[in-house]
Amino acid sequence: MLAKRIIPCLDVRNGLVTKGVKFADNADIGDPVAMARYYYEQGADELVFYDITASNERRGIMLEVVSRVAREIFIPFSVGGGLRTLEDMRAVLLAGAEKVSIDSGAVRDPKIITEGARAFGSQCIVLSMQVRKTGARPGLESGYEVVIDGGRVFTGRDALEWAYEGARLGAGELVINSIDRDGTKAGYDLEITRRISESVTIPVVASGGAGAPEHLRDAFTRGAADAAIVASIVHYGEYPIPELKRYLKGAGVEVRDAIRLEVGAR
Amino acid sequence: MIAIVDYRAGNLTSVKRALEFLGHRCEITDDADKIRAAERVILPGVGAAGATMENLRALGLVEVLRRDVAAAGKPFLGICIGIQVLFERSEEDRADCLGIIAGHVTRYPGSIDGRTLKVPQIGWNRVRQTRAHPVFTGVPDNTHFYFVNSYYPVPADPGVAIAESGYGVQFVAAVASGRVIATQFHLEKSGAAGLKLLDNFCRLEF
């Protein structure tokens, strides 16, 4: 049986983590490589970096971050934000990311999913979708709508239908990011997560709203998620990853025990 | 020097980075002479069996791996697609493979007892060590390793299995036959446990 994955998410702008992140030991705040190493050592099962650098000229900085992370941490990590072409994806994968995450760009140009899957394999292509509950109406039977560009633009597209279409086009994994829940600490949107997870045959990752260990438990049980993205719940030292895992284990959720072994030349 | 066989697949550089982190000298190469001269050979990667075999054939590396590596007793490590092509054939692309270990490679069932099984398997799964092997030195039994696979090996001789895991079905997760060792899971993405196993392989005295 697969362990349910906990995936810390880091927003990076111009090579620095944007949110005022505070660890228990307060080391190297803002440096994405140091943070990646910290979460790796804490037992994160995977990491995701979103590049929110505004200007195209500075995108090279992110590639440098990816390559530094890849030399130091040995768990899968994905990179998203501003990836529009196969060349963008290739650069990130060559720099050492395991997966690329595509979002608004895939809504505008869905064939990028298929092209990416064909070039790099489905397992590399994560389709991240921002969703909002706007209510059921004709053409939007699930009641959840796909939004893009940070949740500002409504597409009129049914989230369940887009998830299904994304999987059909070749995505290897789906991230369901509830914009309604994002930053609320009120828990993941279990309804849409579960409905999507039960209608596709690829892993589904819950995102947006985690504020307490129970929210992760609910995502993995009632939400049928295979993995969950966490941000502020871990960034501010409130619930360190080992504590989250202890809680989940106690709640009967299969999680990975990160083991510590002395390896490496360092 | 450890040769990482370059057959134009993805994921070669992550194995190289892991070996460098561990302090082992290595080179990604498709040069038959360099592979013959290497102390150890690693065949890693993600990809499909058909394309992997086509590329190995086009690069003239099939016989090198069969004769100069496996049959010659050079320590060899296959990872992910690198375990699958060791067998005689794979259901994936109906590919004829290296045939270094007898057996075949089959796909996970799409459902178990009417419940959908998500394929590929993507994530961390427990690995049970079914036979003591020095490559596991220092790695606790039932440790989680990272898998990304739709297919798994079915050895003709169950005795070559050194580890198994469960995903809908029980499947062979690692094999060893002489100096040929291979894992279905990604050692380079499995945290400290994966690094430890990789380091063990690089230091094994046969």
For B104-155, the three-class secondary structure string (H helix, E strand, C coil) is EEEECCCEECCEECCCCEEEEEEEEECCCCHHHCCCCCCEEEEEEECEEEEE
- % of chain B with per-residue pLDDT over 70: 100
B55 to each of B37, B60, B71, B97, B149, how far by Cα in Å?
A: 21, 9, 21, 12, 20
Whether residue B46 and residue A74 make contact (CB cut-off 8 A), yes or no, is no
B17 vs A14: which has the higher pLDDT? B17
Q: d(Cα A26, Cα A29) in Å, to the nearest integer? A: 7
Say what the pLDDT of residue A120 is.
87
Which among B86, B57, B83, B193 is positioned nearest to B149, based on CA atoms? Answer: B83
Give B-chain residues touching A124 at CB under 8 angstroms: 10, 46
Say what the pLDDT of residue A265 is.
53
DSSP string, B58-100: HTT-HHIIIIIIIITT--EEEETHHHHTTSSEETGGGEE---S
Label residues B57-70 b or e (16+ Cβ within 10 Å = b): eebebbebbeebbb
Say what the pLDDT of residue B127 is.
98
Count of structural domains within chain B: 1
Per DSSP, what are the bridge partners of residue A101? A80, A126
Cβ(A162)–Cβ(A107) below 8 Å:
yes
Whether residue A74 and residue B18 make contact (CB cut-off 8 A), yes or no, is yes
Q: Return the sign of the alpha-carbon dihedral for residues B53, B57, B60, B64.
A: positive
Distance from CA of B151 to the nearest CA of A (A): 13
Residue A217 is assigned to a structural domain of this protein? yes
Kindly give the pairing relationship between strand B26-29 and strand B2-5.
parallel
pLDDT at A20 over 50: no
Structural domain span for residue B137: 2-203
pLDDT tens string A54-94: 666 677 889 999 999 999 999 999 999 989 899 999 999 98
Global ipTM: 0.93
- Give the tokens for residue A168: 């059909």
Whether residue B190 and residue A74 make contact (CB cut-off 8 A), yes or no, is yes
Q: Residues 103 to 132 of A: which have CB under 8 A from any B CB?
A: 120-124
Q: Does B196 touch chain A (CB under 8 A)?
A: yes
Long-range contacts of A150-155 (CB under 8 A, 24+ apart): A151/A179, A151/A182, A153/A104, A155/A107
Residue A260 is assigned to a structural domain of this protein? no
Whether residue B138 and residue A261 make contact (CB cut-off 8 A), yes or no, is yes
Q: d(Cα A188, Cα A186) in Å, to the nearest integer? A: 7
Give B-chain residues touching A121 at CB under 8 angstroms: 10, 46-48
By C-alpha distance, the chain B residue nearest A263 is B196
CA angle (B22, A4, A13) in 5-degree steps: 65
Q: Residues with Cβ < 8 Å from B160, sequence gap 6 or more? A: B101, B103, B175, B176, B177
- Give the tokens for residue B135: 């490559």
Q: Count CB-CB contacts under 10 A for residue A166.
A: 26
For the residues B71-88, what does the mean pLDDT come to?
A: 97
For the residues A210-216, what does the mean pLDDT come to?
A: 97
Say what the pLDDT of residue A27 is.
47
Say what the pLDDT of residue B11 is.
73
Give A-chain residues touching B193 at CB under 8 angstroms: 259, 261
Structural domain span for residue A122: 5-250
Q: Does B114 touch chain A (CB under 8 A)?
A: no
Whether residue B21 and residue A266 make contact (CB cut-off 8 A), yes or no, is yes
Residue A60 is assigned to a structural domain of this protein? yes
Task: Name which of B17, B23, B195 is nearest A70 (Cβ-Cβ).
Answer: B17
Q: Quick one: pLDDT band at residue A29, thresholds 50, 70, 90?
A: low
Per DSSP, what are the bridge partners of residue A99? A78
Q: d(Cα A210, Cα B154) in Å, to the nearest integer? A: 41
Domain of residue B161, CATH code: 3.40.50.880
Q: d(Cα B120, Cα B150) in Å, to the nearest integer? A: 4
DSSP string, B155-166: ESSGGGEEEEEE
A36 to each of A50, A60, A115, A140, how far by Cα in Å?
A: 13, 19, 29, 39
For the residues A213-226, what does the mean pLDDT come to?
A: 98
Task: Name which of A75, A121, A256 is nearest B10 (Cβ-Cβ).
Answer: A121
Q: Quick one: pLDDT band at residue A150, thresholds 50, 70, 90?
A: confident
By C-alpha distance, the chain B residue nearest A71 is B17
Distance from CA of B171 to the nearest CA of A (A): 12
pLDDT tens string A155-199: 999 999 999 999 999 999 999 999 999 989 999 999 999 999 999
Q: Residues 15 to 74 of B: which have CB under 8 A from any A CB?
A: 17-18, 20-23, 46-48
pLDDT tens string A114-127: 999 988 889 899 99
pLDDT at A48 over 70: yes
- Give the tokens for residue A233: 């719940």
Residue A102 is assigned to a structural domain of this protein? yes
Say what the pLDDT of residue A55 is.
66
Residue A227 is assigned to a structural domain of this protein? yes
Q: Does A256 touch chain B (CB under 8 A)?
A: yes
How many A/B residue pairs have CB atoms within 8 Å? 110
Give B-chain residues touching A93 at CB under 8 angstroms: 10
pLDDT tens string B128-162: 999 999 999 999 999 999 999 999 999 999 999 99
Distance from CA of A185 to the nearest CA of B (A): 26
Kindly give the pairing relationship between strand B89-90 and strand B103-107.
parallel
Residue A258 is assigned to a structural domain of this protein? no
- Give the tokens for residue A218: 């609910």
Say what the pLDDT of residue A58 is.
72
The number of residues in chain A equals: 266
Q: Quick one: pLDDT band at residue A22, thresholds 50, 70, 90?
A: very low
Q: d(Cα B99, Cα B121) in Å, to the nearest integer? A: 25
Q: Residues 209 to 238 of A: which have CB under 8 A from any B CB?
A: 226-227
Q: Which of A1, A256, A260, A262 is the mutation pick for testing B, counting most B CBs within 10 A? A: A256
Residue A158 is assigned to a structural domain of this protein? yes
Label residues A116-142 b or e (16+ Cβ within 10 Å = b): bbeebbbbbbbbbbbbbbbeeeeebeb
Q: d(Cα A37, Cα A47) in Å, to the nearest integer? A: 10
Q: d(Cα B84, Cα B41) in Å, to the nearest integer? A: 16
Q: Residues with Cβ < 8 Å from A87, sequence gap 6 or more? A: none
Cβ(B85)–Cβ(B52) below 8 Å:
yes
Label residues A82-91 b or e (16+ Cβ within 10 Å = b): bbeeeebbbb
B73 to each of A66, B39, B137, B138, how far by Cα in Å?
A: 38, 11, 21, 25
Count of structural domains within chain A: 1
Residue A149 is assigned to a structural domain of this protein? yes
In the 8-state DSSP scheme, what is residue B187? G
Please state which of the ranges A205-209, A237-241, B3-7 shows the lowest mean pLDDT: A237-241
Which among A178, A182, A217, A224 is positioned nearest to A199, based on CA atoms? Answer: A224
Domain of residue A128, CATH code: 3.20.20.70
